[in-house]
Amino acid sequence: MSELPEEVLRWVSGAVGGGVRVDGATGLREGGSPWLLRFEPAGRVEAAVLRLGDPADPDQRRRFGTEVAALRVAAEHRLPAARLIAADLDGAETGALAVLTTVLAGDSKIPPVASAERLRGLGAAAAALQAVPLTPRPALPLRTRSITDVDFAALRREKGTTALLTTAEERLDRLPVPGGPTVFVHGDLWHGNTLWSGDRCTGLVDWDCAGAGSPGIDLSGARFDAALLFGPPAADHVLEGWQRATGRQADDLAYWDVVAATCSLADMGFCVPVMHDQGRPDLDADTLGARRDAFLSAALARLDADSRQS
pLDDT tens, position by position, 208-247? 999 999 999 999 999 999 999 999 999 999 999 999 999 9
Non-local (6+) Cβ contacts of 135 within 8 A are 182, 212
pLDDT tens, position by position, 77-123? 999 999 999 999 999 999 999 999 999 999 989 999 999 999 999 99
pTM: 0.93
% of the chain with per-residue pLDDT over 70: 97
The answer to whether residue 2 scores a pLDDT higher than 60 is no
* pLDDT computed for residue 1 by the predictor: 45
Q: What is the mean pLDDT of the chain?
A: 94
* pLDDT computed for residue 24 by the predictor: 86
* pLDDT computed for residue 201 by the predictor: 96
pLDDT tens, position by position, 20-40? 888 888 887 766 778 899 998
